[in-house]
Amino acid sequence: MTRALVLGGGGVTGVAWELGVLYGLAARGVDLTGADLVVGTSAGSVVGAQVCSGVAVAQLYQAQLRDPGGEVAARLGWRVVARLLRAGGLTRDGARARARIGAMAVAARTPSEESRRAVIEARLPVRQWPARRLLVTAVDAATGGFVVFEAGSGVSLVDAVGASCAVPGVWPPVTVGDRRFIDGGMRSAVNADLAAGAEAVVVLAPTSVAFGPMPRLAAQVAALRSAGSRVVVVAPDSAARAAIGRNVLDPARRAGAARAGRAQADAVAEQVAAVWG
């Protein structure tokens, strides 16, 4: 049986919540980290690279509980959100909408690519693509084209994850060769359709927000099921949403989000196990 783990976007708290859920499920005997295919979008690309690295999920979870120290919180402010909505909602053409968002991202004032790359590199236990199949999503900032990086793409794992996490207006687009790339969540917060063909699919979705021509998670899941896949979606429950708070880019919320994910795993373990086998 082929099994796919789909990890959606959701900021630093999304990373923490996903690792909490994964750790909690593993403690209940449901280990998702051995998936045949891992799909990572934005925050999910960080988690995907981490769980495919060979580092135990318990260790990855414990790292989320550490004091963030001097790590500075970023914020997806209302002005940036308004610009994203305006750019993405002006057309029903997905690529055109994403290209407009890409142009906004390129023009925005953000930290340097070098400083952001160092942050991404520090979050990855290894720098090499794993032997297991890992798909990392991004968007071409100029064309709006949806891009899926993997081991054979000729792009480093650090650059692929950095591109997938390049939130427009907050972090700089990532340069690879003569192209620049932005957050894969600008196509879909989850990109669950990339798991097509897997017999069992578990989706961890810190957020499923969609605007403009973005494909909706519900439609992606319905398509997977109609093709014969068994699918379960896990999203933050009320306690997890409270722990995450309003700013998903605030590292001070990381530990609480991780603990909430760990606690939520108890409630969803049976449902997930029924799909995972």
Active-site hit among 53, 140, 164, 183: 183
| CA distance readout (Å), 113 to 26, 63, 250 | 36, 25, 20
Q: How far apart are CA 238 and CA 227, in angstroms?
A: 31
Which is nearest to 254 in space by CA: 68, 118, 123?
Answer: 68
Q: Specify the amino acid at residue 120.
A: I
Active-site hit among 42, 45, 188, 208: 42
CB neighbours of 203 closer than 8 A, spacing ≥ 6? 6, 8, 190, 192, 195, 217, 221, 231, 232, 233, 234
Q: How far apart are CA 221 and CA 206, in angstroms?
A: 15
Q: How far apart are CA 120 and CA 118, in angstroms?
A: 6
Mark whether 42 is an active-site residue. Answer: yes
Mark whether 183 is an active-site residue. Answer: yes
CA 42 to the chain's CA centroid: 4
Looking at the DSSP bridge assignments, the partners of residue 38 are 5, 134
> Which active-site residues does the annotation give?
42, 183
